[in-house]
C-alpha cells in the first residue's frame, strides 16, 4: 500500500457513518499505549464533522485515520486533537498529512489563535516541531477548564493535580502565530480588532 492510495480530506456529512469506528480506534490505541485520553461522545465527533473541524483518511471505504480541531477560551487557543491512524495503515505518512491539513484548516480559520498540543507521543512531537511548535511550560497553554477536564481520563492525572497543573508526563508545545509575523501587533489593537469583529454583522457587499 502507498500513501497515494489514501484519500485525506476535510470530513463532511457523508462521513458521519464512520463516527463509531473512529471512537473505537482511538479507544483501542489508548489501551495499547496505556495512557488516558480525552474521551469524546459520538455526538461530539459528529458535530466536529458537520462543522468542518475534522479530517478523515480513507482507503477506499475503509477507515484509516482521523483528527479533529477544538477551540478554547473563545477561540484564542486551538488544538488539533484525537489523532489516530489505524495500525495497519501506520508508517506511510498518513498522520503527517492529516496533521498538515488540520493545522492549515486551523490557521486559515483562526489565523490569530495560538495552536497548542499536550502530548507524550514522539511522532506528534516530531510533527509539531516541523510545523513550528515550540516546547513550553503549561502556564503558556490555555486556562480553559474544559480543556483540562480532558485530562481527567488519563492515568497520570494525579501528577497534574499534585503539581497544581504545572507539570505532568506530557510535553506542552505551542505554535504562536505572532512569532511568525514580521511585526508585532500591540495588544490594544488586537483587543480593538476582536471587538470590531464581534460586532461586525454587516454585509460586506453593502458599501
Ligand X SMILES: CC(C)(COP(=O)(O)OP(=O)(O)OC[C@H]1O[C@@H](n2cnc3c(N)ncnc32)[C@H](O)[C@@H]1OP(=O)(O)O)[C@@H](O)C(=O)NCCC(=O)NCCS
Which of residues 58, 78, 95, 106 is near ligand X by CB under 6 A?
95
- The answer to whether 67 and 98 have CB atoms below 8 angstroms apart is yes
Span from 114-122, 140-148, 185-193, 197-205 in contact with ligand X (CB under 6 A): 114-122
- The residues in 145-184 that bind ligand X, with binding defined as CB under 6 A, are none
Span from 13-21, 100-108, 124-132, 152-160 in contact with ligand X (CB under 6 A): 124-132
Residue 79 interacting with ligand X (CB under 6 A): no
Q: Which is nearer to ligand X, 27 or 178 (CB)?
A: 27
Q: How far is CA 120 from the centre of its chain?
A: 14
Instruction: Name the E strands within 40-138.
Output: 54-59, 62-72, 77-85, 114-119, 134-136
Q: Which is nearer to ligand X, 46 or 95 (CB)?
A: 95
HSE-up of 167 (CA within 13 Å, CB side)? 3
Measure the CA–CA gap between 42 and 38, rounded to whole angstroms. Answer: 13
- The residues in 20-59 that bind ligand X, with binding defined as CB under 6 A, are 29, 33
Alpha helices in 63-176 (DSSP H): 94-109, 122-131, 145-149, 157-162
Q: Which is nearer to ligand X, 33 or 74 (CB)?
A: 33
Measure the CA–CA gap between 117 and 127, rounded to whole angstroms. Answer: 11
Extract the C-alpha cell encoding 75: 477561540
Q: Which is nearer to ligand X, 20 or 178 (CB)?
A: 20
Which of residues 46, 83, 105, 160 is near ligand X by CB under 6 A?
83
Which of residues 1, 16, 52, 126 is near ligand X by CB under 6 A?
126
Measure the CA–CA gap between 110 and 108, rounded to whole angstroms. Answer: 6
Span from 72-80, 121-129, 142-150, 199-207 in contact with ligand X (CB under 6 A): 121-129
3-state helix, strand, coil in the chain (%, to 5): 45, 20, 30
- How many residues of this chain interact with ligand X, rule: CB under 6 A? 19
CB 69, min distance to ligand X, A: 15
Residue 122 interacting with ligand X (CB under 6 A): yes
Residue showing cell 454587516: 202
Q: Given the rule CB under 6 A, which residues bind ligand X? A: 29, 33, 83-85, 90-96, 119, 121-124, 126-127
Amino acid at each position: 500500500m502507498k500513501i497515494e492510495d489514501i484519500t485525506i480530506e476535510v470530513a463532511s456529512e457523508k462521513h458521519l457513518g464512520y463516527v463509531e469506528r473512529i471512537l473505537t480506534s482511538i479507544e483501542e490505541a489508548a489501551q495499547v499505549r496505556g495512557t488516558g485520553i480525552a474521551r469524546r461522545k459520538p455526538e461530539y465527533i459528529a458535530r466536529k464533522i458537520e462543522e468542518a473541524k475534522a479530517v478523515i483518511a480513507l482507503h477506499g471505504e475503509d477507515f484509516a485515520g482521523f483528527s479533529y480541531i477544538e477551540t478554547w477560551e473563545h477561540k484564542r487557543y486551538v488544538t488539533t486533537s484525537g489523532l489516530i491512524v489505524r495500525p495497519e495503515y501506520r508508517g506511510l505518512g498518513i498522520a503527517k498529512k492529516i496533521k498538515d491539513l488540520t493545522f492549515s484548516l486551523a490557521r486559515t480559520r483562526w489565523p490569530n489563535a495560538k495552536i497548542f498540543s499536550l502530548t507524550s507521543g514522539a511522532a506528534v512531537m516530531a510533527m509539531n516541531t516541523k510545523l513550528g511548535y515550540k516546547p513550553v511550560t503549561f502556564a503558556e497553554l490555555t486556562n480553559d477548564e474544559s480543556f483540562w477536564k480532558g485530562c481527567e481520563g488519563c492515568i497520570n492525572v494525579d501528577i497534574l493535580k499534585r503539581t497544581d497543573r504545572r507539570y505532568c508526563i506530557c510535553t506542552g508545545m505551542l505554535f504562536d502565530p505572532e512569532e511568525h509575523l514580521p511585526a508585532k501587533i500591540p495588544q490594544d489593537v488586537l483587543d480593538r480588532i476582536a471587538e470590531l469583529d464581534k460586532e461586525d454583522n454587516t454585509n460586506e457587499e453593502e458599501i
